[in-house]
Amino acid sequence: MDGRSIVIALVMGLVAGWLASWIVGGSGLVRYLISGVLGSYVGSFLLAKAGINLGIGNEYARDIVTATIGAIVVVLIARFIS
């Protein structure tokens, strides 16, 4: 990965974490970033295992929606554990 790809991944994770916190609650820039980046992996895994295709043509929008779904799961699991 080059520097641009890393920055794009972090920004998308930040947006996804913010959207997830807007839906399920929470705050904090670091929490947005962590939940969004972890959510991208969790969302990709869950959607692939479930065989769900979001049908979104724009690659960035699809990745943000996938990461947001995963971030919601991550936040809910973290709340359940704590």
Q: What does the pLDDT look like over 15-63, one tens digit per residue?
A: 999 999 999 988 888 889 999 999 999 999 999 999 999 999 999 999 9
Reduce the DSSP state of residue 82 to 3 states and report it.
Answer: coil
Residues 6+ apart with CB under 8 A from 68: 16, 19, 20, 23, 36, 39, 43
Q: How far apart are CA 3 and CA 56, in angstroms?
A: 26
pLDDT of residue 2: 87
Residue 74: pLDDT above 90?
Answer: yes
- pLDDT computed for residue 6 by the predictor: 87
Q: What's the pTM?
A: 0.90
Q: Write down the pLDDT at residue 27.
A: 81
Residue 55, number of CB atoms within 10 A of its CB: 6
Q: Rounded CA gap, 33 and 56, in Å?
A: 23
Domains of the chain, by residue range, sit at: 3-81
